[in-house]
Amino acid sequence: MPTEVKNIQRFNTKRSINKARTKGALDKSWKLESDNKIYTWNNKLERVNIIREGIPYQSIEVISERLNKPVKSILKIIGVPQTTYNKKKVEHSLLDSRDSELIILISELIDYGTEVFNNEIDKFQRWLYKSNVSLGGSTPESLLDTVTGINEVKYSLNRLEYGNLA
């Protein structure tokens, strides 16, 4: 029995990398509006630059509105005292890199969660405040104070989106 040999193309690493870069850049553009300024990034390196520069304290209010939580709750999550927040907001100061990163990652998480719940923000918010088996019984909201916690919540949303335990 003769076997048929098909025309097999060799894997082109450069083409694959360029395709991934292009696809990643075009698939999602992130945006955060705060203090009359729009911060946008298309990839992680652009995100790093924004984090290093810092984002305004006003962005805490933006996250507060998007999560439908009081500013005090968001301040607790990122570990900023109310008096510091009040002073820095009036001065139009920028958050340090750690706090900027948390706010940006939470903003991305809100966008992703809203997308997973078919743009039904109320359903996503309810999910955030319920204990979750895939998070060891913790509520997703309780994990937003660290980058690792935010990533775990994002993984949980990813599992939910693809029909796995979440």
- The dihedral through the CA atoms of 137, 143, 148, 151 has a sign that is positive
Q: How far are the Cα atoms of 3, 15, 16, 20 from residue 10, in angstroms, in the given order?
A: 20, 11, 12, 18
Per the listing, tokens 């696809």 go with 23
Per-residue model confidence as pLDDT tens digits over 105-146:
999 999 999 999 999 999 999 999 999 998 999 999 999 999
Domain boundaries, the chain: 28-161
Per-residue model confidence as pLDDT tens digits over 80-102:
999 999 999 999 999 999 999 99
Model confidence at 103: pLDDT above 60 = yes
Per-residue model confidence as pLDDT tens digits over 22-61:
444 335 788 888 878 888 899 999 999 999 999 999 999 9
Per the listing, tokens 């693809």 go with 162
pTM score: 0.79
Number of Cα atoms under 13 Å in the Cβ half of residue 60: 26
